Amino acid sequence: MKNNGGRLRHQIVLVPCPFQGHITPMLQLGHILHSKGFSITVVHTQFNSPNPIHHPHFRFLSIPDGLSDQIIASGNILTILSLINVNCRAHFKQVLADQIGSEIVCCVIYDELMYFSEFAANQLNVSSIILRTTSAATCLGRVAFHRLKQQGLIPFQDSMLQSPVPDLQPFRFKDLPTPFSRNMEAFLALVHNAYSNRTSSAIIWNTMECLDEFSLAQIRQESHIPIFPIGPLHKIASSSSSTSLLKEDIGCIEWLDKQANNSVLYVSWGSVATADDQEIAEMAWGLVNSKQPFLWVVRPGLIRGSQWIEAFPEGLTEAVGERGCIVKWVPQKKVLGHGAVGGFLSHCGWNSVLESICEGIPMICKPNFGDQRVNARYVSHVWRIGLEMDDEMERGNIEIAVRRLMVEEEGLELRKNAKILKDKVEAGLQNGGPSSNSLNDLAAKIMSF
């Protein structure tokens, strides 16, 4: 234990998964636990390492991940994750052993996809806790995926896309969290490793009872370890330190300042999804033709085979003109909280959905793969705070969807629902509410190790 200004601090070792949508909630959890009196050590891969400058109270330790430039450039997430789980195990054990040698480590909290951490913790007799950074409904969807595969229902024909999945309300086959690559076996192995009966002592979930009530209840019935839904983490963490791997373009806020209230559509595909230049051109023309102002994040690498937007077809940049602001990366929570933003066209990553809900912003759902499909179903069908866009990335579909959300009566209704959900989440975040109770229970659990 370390004496910190007269207070004894217990150390927690965090192991984030090296992708933006996973690093952010883990660091936010770190800030929350730090404010509860724990000292925080972040053990991370060399690939996508977090920036320590923004988190001066944490200790950061890097471990070799053995990923070649070629593997990283392939963008094959399944391969990257499988290699990390093999390559990091021994290095992590060594780092953890060194920490135990110098201070008391009360537990390891690891991302569900960084399951190598559990082996090392077990071998060194340190308790471990899993952090799940997707919704509880996604967990049920992934587990169902296994069952459906065994029943021979996966892979499924296109004719089944709209059919309900047996025993899995409210999912249709198209809402299942399908893998980001065609390698089904590797995907199922990853899901098995993340969800099989692990030996960890508890699960922390970046979700909230009022968003995920039925899924959490079902999971609790089947779980032999306590579940702590503590979310949305970004609202509970007192620190607003940047967790971005990319540089944020602050200039977009000045652009937003000049726009009318609720008038701007914010467009982002998150940190991993990619598209081809044809799809992006259709998106661009759809946005332009909708005649609504838009702020569009075109992340470097979003367009396959391009650095940025240099491959935009002739005339498109001029057509975007003053109506649109295209940037590489934004401070998204700030953008969603800006009064000018009235809608979010999103790939429906779980962090983006939570951030949008917390600002009461209605959405257009354009999911790509994995849990994005589950989240989109919840946004459009369960919470009714967004609309589902036609699958085909075609300018006419996009224009219609944008006008439905930003101009038509339907959009007003969705905005009203989004505001009601935002208020519900805020009420749940109060002292004595479910997330704060869960956090106190978690802190007590960690102290009992």
Which chain residues interact with ligand UDP by CB under 6 A? 20-21, 24, 244, 268, 270-272, 297, 329-330, 332-333, 349-352, 355
Nearest approach, Cβ of residue 370 and ligand UDP (Å): 8
Conformational region of residue 422, where left means phi above 0, alpha means psi within -120 to 50, and beta covers everything else: alpha
Q: Which of 210, 213, 208, 132 is nearest to 177 (CA)?
A: 132
Work out whether strand 128-132 and strand 38-45 pair parallel, antiparallel, or are unpaired.
unpaired
Nearest approach, Cβ of residue 152 and ligand UDP (Å): 30
Nearest approach, Cβ of residue 120 and ligand UDP (Å): 26
95 or 370: CB nearest ligand UDP: 370
DSSP state letters, 226-280:
-EEE---HHHH-S------SS---THHHHHHHTSPTT-EEEEE-TTT--B-HHHH
Q: Which of 387, 382, 410 is nearest to 398 (CA)?
A: 387
Nearest approach, Cβ of residue 98 and ligand UDP (Å): 31
Work out whether strand 363-365 and strand 386-388 pair parallel, antiparallel, or are unpaired.
parallel
Nearest approach, Cβ of residue 368 and ligand UDP (Å): 8
Residue 326 pairs in a beta bridge with 296
Phi, psi of 373 (to 5 degrees): -70, -40
Q: Which residue has the tokens 């039925």?
A: 214
Nearest approach, Cβ of residue 301 and ligand UDP (Å): 12
- 3-class secondary structure for 308-332? CCCCCCCCHHHHHCCCEEEECCCCH
Structure tokens at 317: 């940049």
Please, are residues 109 and 12 in contact by the beta-carbon 8 Å criterion? yes
352 or 380: CB nearest ligand UDP: 352
126 or 376: CB nearest ligand UDP: 376
Nearest approach, Cβ of residue 333 and ligand UDP (Å): 6
* CB proximity list for 348: less than 8 A, separation 6 or greater: 363, 365, 366, 367, 372, 373, 375, 376, 379
Phi, psi of 387 (to 5 degrees): -120, 155
297 or 418: CB nearest ligand UDP: 297
24 or 41: CB nearest ligand UDP: 24
328 or 416: CB nearest ligand UDP: 328
Nearest approach, Cβ of residue 21 and ligand UDP (Å): 2
Structure tokens at 106: 């009360």
171 or 344: CB nearest ligand UDP: 344
232 or 342: CB nearest ligand UDP: 232
Q: Which of 405, 150, 392, 111 is nearest to 279 (CA)?
A: 392
Classify residue 102 by burial, with Cβ atoms within 10 Å: 0-12, 13-18, 19+.
exposed
178 or 268: CB nearest ligand UDP: 268
Nearest approach, Cβ of residue 220 and ligand UDP (Å): 24
138 or 332: CB nearest ligand UDP: 332
Q: Which of 284, 263, 288, 267 is nearest to 366 (CA)?
A: 267
Nearest approach, Cβ of residue 119 and ligand UDP (Å): 26
Amino acid at 94: Q
